[in-house]
Amino acid sequence: MNNTDSYKGHNIPFLHYIGKERKSQTMEEKEKNKLFVSSLPFDMKNEELESLFKPYGKVKVAFVVQNRGFGFVQFENVIEADSALEAMNGMPYQERNLKIAYANPKQK
């Protein structure tokens, strides 16, 4: 079993993991607790991304695709993800405006 996904040659280990969360949630609810974040600084680290989103709830996973300017954040639940998306989408951060959306479900 492969525990990584790949994006342009970069291994993204958590994307595979995220899809196996609580079975009691509907597929739509599962996907809405994961956010896609773009317009990040190219040198941002996973820990920085997590710290940026912590005020909005429990961050289960924060992953930055290095040197690409985007990443993913998974929250404990949909309410926290909604709160972060609403508060942070378009927010200025290091001379950029963050762009945040719900992450697309992994294609099978």
79 part of a folded domain: yes
What is the reported pLDDT for 19? 45
Mean pLDDT of 16-25: 45
Q: Among residues 45, 96, 46, 95, which one has the least CA distance to residue 74?
A: 46
Q: What is the CATH number of the domain that holds 66?
A: 3.30.70.330
17 is a domain residue: yes
Between 27 and 47, residue with greater pLDDT = 47
- With respect to residue 107, please indicate whether it lies within any of the assigned structural domains: no
Q: Report residue 26's pLDDT band, with 50, 70 and 90 as the boundaries.
A: low
Domain carrying residue 96: 12-102
3-state class of 7 per DSSP? strand
pLDDT tens digits, one per residue of 63-85: 999 999 999 999 999 999 999 99
Q: Is residue 51 part of a domain?
A: yes
Q: Evaluate whether residue 2 is within a structural domain.
A: no
Residue 35 belongs to some domain of the structure: yes
Residue 6 covered by a domain: no
In this prediction the pTM is 0.71
Question: pLDDT tens digits for 36-55?
Answer: 999 999 999 999 999 999 99
| 71 in a structural domain | yes
Report the number of distinct structural domains present in the chain.
Answer: 1
To which H or E segment does residue 53 belong? helix 46-53
